[in-house]
Homo-oligomer: A and B are copies of this chain.
Amino acid sequence: MNLLILFDSDFIDEHRVCLRDRRLKHVLQVHQAQEGDTLRAGKLNGSLGEGRIITLSKSELIMDVSLHQSPPPPLPLTLIVALPRPKMFRRILRLSAELGIKQLHFIHSYRVEKSYWQSPALEESVQQEHFIAGLEQAKDTVLPTVHFHRFFKPFVEDQLPDISNNSHKLLCHPGDALPCPHQHNEAITLIIGPEGGFIPYEVEKFKAADFTQVHLGSRIYRVEHAIPLAIAKLYD
């Protein structure tokens, strides 16, 4: 972890935190820190800065923190993904937080197995765990917001126009498509399909909602790879 994320419940005083959980373990085992050392820290959804270790033992870490920097700018991108299987769902949460995506929508589509919607991975506590891991990696503090849409047609017809309003609308789907543009650098709503792809009816619905179909070349990538590939092209 490149940043210790702090929660309200960690604060024992205005500028002092006490940690006893996996973060303590990480500071001891990975950072191999000592009293007097400083560590990068940031408050969840708040500012970043440094913490100076006051006391450090196997049972607790007490740190004085000074948090005055703003978190890094978010990626101006709304990501819409067909709900993947639970293992990949968790990896996409982590990846999204790492990339700086703040608006994340998971949708149903014909090739999404219905059982995925019952997965315990969708619970908020699990989501948060994976988001935090991504934020710790990328030195960010701002949790992404997740939305779930279990019905395809009402999502595309009633909600997608508002969600994608004032943004460049891209559907990443192989076939009759333009190459994914480079360095677009503006607000984008990006849709990525399920393993096996969207069915033709779904592609047509997105096109009717003003989405431009783009591709990533002749290879077919896993969803968790298509996301960073598309985003890296679209932004500097």
Contact = CB atoms under 8 A, between A and B. Distances in A.
Contacts of A217: 236
A209 to B, nearest CB: 26
Given A98-B225, A228-B225, A228-B228, A220 B138 contact: yes
Interface residues of A, number: 28
Contact of A140 (B2, B98, B183, B219): B219
A219 B72 contact: yes
A182 to B, nearest CB: 5
Interface of A: 2, 72, 95, 98-100, 137-140, 179, 182-183, 216-222, 225, 228-233, 236
Closest 8 CB pairs of A and B: A232-B232, A138-B219, A229-B232, A228-B228, A182-B182, A232-B233, A228-B229, A2-B220
B228 A232 contact: yes
A174 to B, nearest CB: 10
A137 B222 contact: yes
A236 B179 contact: yes
A180 to B, nearest CB: 8
A220 B139 contact: yes
Contacts of A222: 98, 137
A2 B99 CA distance: 28
Question: Which one of A137, A182, A218, A232 has the highest number of Cβ atoms from chain B below 10 Å of its Cβ?
Answer: A232
A135 to B, nearest CB: 10
A98 B138 contact: no
Given A219-B98, A229-B232, A182 B179 contact: no
Contact of A219 (B100, B219, B225): B100
Given A229-B232, A232-B229, A232-B230, A221 B98 contact: yes
A138 B72 contact: no
A212 B203 CA distance: 42
